[in-house]
Structure 1
Amino acid sequence: MASQGKTALVTGAARGIGRAIALRLAQEGINLALVDLSDDVDDCASEVRKLGVKAATRLVDVSDAEAVASSVAELADELGPISILVNNAGLVKNIAPTGKMAVDAWETELAVNLSGPFNLIRALVEPMAKAGWGRIINISSVAARGGLHFQAGYSASKNGVLGLTHTVTLEYARYGVTCNAILPGVIQTENVKAMPKGIRESVEAMVPARRMGEVEEVAHLVAFLASEDAAYISGAEIDIDGGTRLNSLTLGSQSELRERAEAMARAFEE
């Protein structure tokens, strides 16, 4: 797909979807700037280097605009211009009805899930535009479309990512910079695999494909969107959910909804 030799920055790269994305891009010959809050990101960097590309890491809170800007500058000095950005870092801070949600949890979820992607895009999009080439891939969620019980902050922040994606496309597509959003359903990260069997089965039963997605499936889609082959795709919202968007994750009793919300929260934190 001909992105060899370029440099990509991936947030939330220590494990789960982010780690899979980093390894998949490395297979394409792309150097990796890996950002996370966990020291485990260094393990990911070691695996990336085994694939024959360069890797550098930074422990960064993506909601801190100044820390993001300085880290991006350092990583670009170390690895070369960053022309691919994957905004993957995200979290769920509080499982509660909207009227009972903690304000600090709401603010944290918006800061990480929405301001985080903005901070990274703000630091990188102008250099991409000046170079005449760039790929921005934002990891949103199926929660962005219809919302989820007990997850107002997460749902709202991931919906905001779609608006950000559209605006960046309107402003920068003319300069060769694409910006797209991926909306994963329930993906089999480490946390999801640890779910009780009964919860897993109830969630899978609501997916038309009758299974959960694999982290590698998301990573393959990211690799395509980061390539030359995807040059005419921008402003898109691409579901990778086994058809979940056509069903509802909002059916059931209050206790069932809460149990499912807690399970989904573990899925979305990777």
Structure 2
Amino acid sequence: MRVAGSPAVGHVLRAVLGNWVAGNWVDGPWAAGTTMTYQWALNGVPIAGATRASYVPVTSDLNKRLTVKAMGTKPGSLFQFYVSDSTSRVYIAYIKPTAPVAISGSLTTGSMLSASQGAWDVPGVTLFRRWMRNGIDIPGWQAFQDKYRLTAEDLGAKISVRTVAGKYKYRNSVPVVSAETGVITKGLILSFKAPAITGTAKVGQVLSTSAGTWNVPGLTVKYQWYAGGVAVLGATSKTFTPALAQAGKTLKAKVSVSRGGYIPAFAVSAVTAAVAR
């Protein structure tokens, strides 16, 4: 008989019955009606309770060799037993990848990249990530997550992610590095809500405009007021007080936004009523 399987902690070993036939081992059951019992041993010492056809090595078995004895009884026949050859020393198995880790997502600043789970030869693993920029570890807590949001620092670079799989009773996998992305380009700044003017359009009355709402935080905001569709010289603050020169004209505010690593954008408010005197 023989032991089938790798003698690694947490891996199932099985006692395989059979016989040598013409110099070759042939797996197969013993004669019909034979009652089988088993005893696994560690360095020749029987393991208490290990009396089934399979055995799962535990941590205390490390660096020791396993054997199994199979005993067969059948009415009217002689008692028979066989002992397997020793296994190699029990070890802790490394987790191995069976499919690569891949990155998905838009390659523009502000976009979120996601790392796939990949596939491993052991189920239920925990994955440890580290995102890299041009092959160098990216600092900060975000670089240890399954997802990574691209920043202005990533502009012009290529991104990859290093993954290590771990599980109790197994050795961590060797680091698996994904393929690099293409070059990261500038992202778009998008307006979620246009600027809005508040106040009464009347000579001498202060008007104010909101900055609007945008998809990117931390923007630099600039303002420009228009009267009758023409930019008012010097009217570049959040508030504007119409003068007699603007009487009878409609007003609007243009809000321009920018941030390093992004394409600048602007949005324009709705026009007011004609400025009253």
| Same fold, TM-score > 0.5, yes or no | no
Q: TM-score range by the shorter chain?
A: under 0.3
Structure 1-normalised TM-score? 0.20
Q: Which structure has the higher relative contact order (CA within 8 Å, separation 6+)?
A: 1
Q: Which has the higher strand share?
A: 2
User: Bigger radius of gyration, 1 or 2?
Assistant: 2
Structure 2-normalised TM-score? 0.20
